[in-house]
C-alpha cells in the first residue's frame, strides 16, 4: 500500500494536518549539538508537508535510482547488516529486506517513520526516530557492514556537518565496511532556490557536489571504489558513490 491509499481517519498525524495544527518535534527536540549536523528547517519542512512528500517518496523504485543501481551492481553479501541514514518512508528498507539483507533506518522525520511503521508492520523494529547526530547513541561501534544514504547529505547545513556525518558512518562500520551514498548534481534546481539556498517548502540544498563528497570521505578514512551517474528523463541528475572504510 502506498501513501495515496492511506485512510485519513486511521492516521493520527493526518488529523493534525486536517486541523491545520503545526507539527511538533516531540521527543526528537534537538540540542545545540544536534543543530551542528542536522538542518532543523529541512526536517520541519518534511514534517509540515508529510502527505505530499510521503506520497512522492514512497513510490520511488529503488532499482531505478543511481544508488540502487550501484548497489545491485556490486551485490553485497546477503544477510549484511545495513543502516540507512535518513530512511524516510522506509521504501529502501523494504527493498533491502526483500533482497535478503538485515536493514535498519533512522530519521528525524517523525511523521514518516510513524506512518511507515503503520503501513508496513515488518518495519516496526527496524525504523527509529533520531537525528543523524544521535547515531552513536542509537547504535554500537563497528555494528554495521554497510551504511546506505540516498539523497541526504545535500540537506545538511554545512560541509563541516557532512564531515561529522562521515565520521559517524566510520564509527558505525566494521573493518572494510561500505558506504553507498548519492547526491544530486543537477544545477537546474538552483534558480528555484532563495538566497539561503532553500526551496519553496524550506528544504536546504547545500552547495555540494560529488567531488566535494569524495574529498571529505577520502580525508576521513575511506577509499572511493566506484562512482556512477544516472540521468533519468525529466528528473534531477544523480551521482552515486561507493566508499570502503580503510
Q: What SS3 class is residue 173?
A: strand
| Structural domains counted in the chain | 1
Q: How many other CB atoms sit within 10 Å of the CB of residue 196?
A: 9
More reliable by pLDDT, 7 or 170: 170
Q: What is the dihedral of CA 23, 205, 195, 216, to 10 degrees?
A: 130
Return the pLDDT at 130. Answer: 94
Domain hosting 184: range is 3-245
**pLDDT score at 120:** 92
Is the pLDDT score of 30 beyond 50?
no
Q: What is the pLDDT of residue 77?
A: 95
Question: pLDDT-derived band of residue 190, with 50, 70 and 90 as boundaries?
Answer: confident
Of 157, 183, 182, 179, give the one whose Cα is nearest residue 168: 179
Please give the model's pTM, rounded to 2 decimal places: 0.84
The predicted-structure confidence for 78-128, as pLDDT tens digits, reads as follows: 999 999 999 999 999 999 999 999 999 999 999 999 999 999 999 999 999
Tens digits of residue pLDDT in 178-188 = 999 999 886 66
Closest of 74, 68, 66, 60 to residue 230, by C-alpha: 66
Bigger pLDDT: 84 vs 54: 84
DSSP assignments along 27-51, one per residue: GG---HHHHHHS-HHHHHHHHHTHH
Of the candidates 183, 108, 101, the residue with the CA atom closest to the CA atom of residue 146: 101
pLDDT attached to residue 56: 87
- CATH (domain of 60): 3.40.50.150
Residue 32 has pLDDT above 90, yes or no: no
CB atoms within 10 A of CB 97: 17
Amino acid at each position: 500500500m502506498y501513501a495515496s491509499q492511506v485512510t485519513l481517519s486511521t492516521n493520527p498525524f493526518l488529523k493534525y494536518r486536517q486541523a491545520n495544527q503545526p507539527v511538533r518535534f516531540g521527543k526528537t527536540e534537538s540540542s545545540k549539538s544536534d543543530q551542528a549536523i542536522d538542518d532543523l528547517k529541512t526536517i520541519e519542512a518534511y514534517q509540515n508537508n508529510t502527505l505530499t512528500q510521503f506520497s512522492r517518496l514512497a513510490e520511488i523504485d529503488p532499482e531505478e535510482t543511481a544508488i540502487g543501481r550501484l548497489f545491485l551492481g556490486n551485490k553485497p553479501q546477503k544477510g549484511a547488516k545495513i543502516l540507512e541514514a535518513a530512511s524516510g518512508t522506509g521504501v529502501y528498507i523494504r527493498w533491502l529486506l526483500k533482497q535478503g539483507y538485515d536493514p535498519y533506518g533512522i530519521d528525524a522525520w517523525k511523521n514518516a517513520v510513524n506512518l511507515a511503521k503503520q503501513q508496513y508492520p515488518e518495519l516496526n523494529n527496524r525504523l527509529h526516530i533520531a537525528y543523524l547526530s544521535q547515531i552513536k547513541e542509537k547504535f554500537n561501534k563497528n555494528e554495521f557492514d554497510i551504511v546506505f544514504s540516498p539523497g541526504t547529505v545535500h540537506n545538511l547545513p554545512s560541509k563541516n556537518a557532512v564531515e561529522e556525518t562521515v565520521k559517524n558512518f566510520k564509527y558505525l562500520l566494521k573493518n572494510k565496511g561500505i558506504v553507498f551514498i548519492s547526491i544530486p548534481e543537477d544545477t537546474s534546481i538552483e534558480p528555484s532556490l532563495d538566497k539561503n539556498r532553500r526551496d519553496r517548502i524550506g528544504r536546504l540544498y547545500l552547495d555540494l557536489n560529488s567531488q566535494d563528497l569524495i574529498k571529505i570521505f577520502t580525508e576521513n578514512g575511506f577509499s572511493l571504489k566506484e562512482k556512477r551517474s544516472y540521468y533519468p528523463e525529466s528528473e534531477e541528475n544523480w551521482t552515486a558513490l561507493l566508499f570502503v572504510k580503510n
